[in-house]
Amino acid sequence: MSATLGQTEVYSLLSLSLACFGILANTFHGDGEPLIASIAFSGLAFSICYALVRWLGNAFMQRGFKGRDLCKLKKTEIPETMGAVAALVYLFILVIFIPWPFYKDIVAATSGGGNRDVMKELEEVETGRLLHRFPHNKLASYLSAILSLQSIVLLGIGDDMFDIRWRHKVLIPAVAAIPMLIVYFVDFGVTQMVVPKPLRPYLGELFDLGWLYYAYMALLSIFSSNSINILAGINGIEVAQSLVIAVLIVLNDILYLSPFAPYPHPATDSHLFSLYLLLPFIGVSLALLMHNWYPARVFVGDTYCYFAGMVFAVDGILGHFSKTLILLLLPQGFNFVYSAPQLFKLVPCPRHRLPHFNARTGLLEASRVEFKKPLSLPIAASLKLLHRLRLLDVETDEKGQVVSSSNFTILNLWLVWFGPMREDRLALGLLGFQTAVGLLGLFVRHRMALLVFTADNW
The binding site for a second copy (CB under 8 A) comprises 59, 63-64, 88, 91-92, 95-96, 98-99, 102, 106, 110, 113-116, 134, 136-137, 139-140, 143-144, 146-147, 150-151, 153-154, 157-158, 161-162, 178-179, 182-183, 185-191
**Rounded least distance, CB 375 to a second copy, Å:** 37
- Which residue type, as a one-letter code, is found at position 12? S
SS3 call for 384: helix
Min CB(335)–a second copy separation in Å: 31
CA–CA gap between residue 376 and residue 380 (Å, rounded): 6
Would you say 113 or 196 has its CB closer to a second copy?
113
Among candidate residues 132, 130, 126, the one with its CA nearest the CA of residue 105: 132
How far does CA 380 lie from the centroid of its chain? Answer: 36
* CA pair distance 25, 20, nearest whole angstrom: 9
Nearer to a second copy, 23 or 178 (CB): 178
**Smallest separation, CB 59 to a second copy (Å):** 5
Q: How far is the CB of 92 from a second copy (least distance, A)?
A: 8
Cis peptide before 99 (omega within 30 of 0): no
Nearer to a second copy, 82 or 240 (CB): 82
Nearer to a second copy (CB atom), residue 118 or residue 450: 118
Taking the complex as a whole, the smallest distance from the CB of residue 206 to a second copy amounts, in Å, to: 10
Question: In the bound complex, what is the minimum distance in angstroms from residue 289's beta carbon to a second copy?
Answer: 23
State the nearest-atom distance from the C-beta of 69 to a second copy, in Å: 23
Cβ atoms within 10 Å of 206's Cβ, excluding its own: 13
Instruction: Report whether 29 contacts 54 (CB < 8 A).
Output: no
Side-chain half-sphere CA neighbours of 135 within 13 A: 15
Judged by beta carbon, residue 15 or residue 137, the one nearer a second copy is 137
Closer residue to a second copy in complex, CB, 8/111: 111
For residues 171-181, one letter each, b for 16 or more C-beta atoms within 10 angstroms of the residue's C-beta and e for the rest, the string is: ebbbbbbebbb
* Rounded-to-integer distance, Cα 84 and Cα 158, Å: 11
Q: 321 Cβ partners below 8 Å, 6+ apart?
A: 249, 252, 270, 271, 274, 457
Comparing CB distances to a second copy, the nearer of 208 and 397 is 208
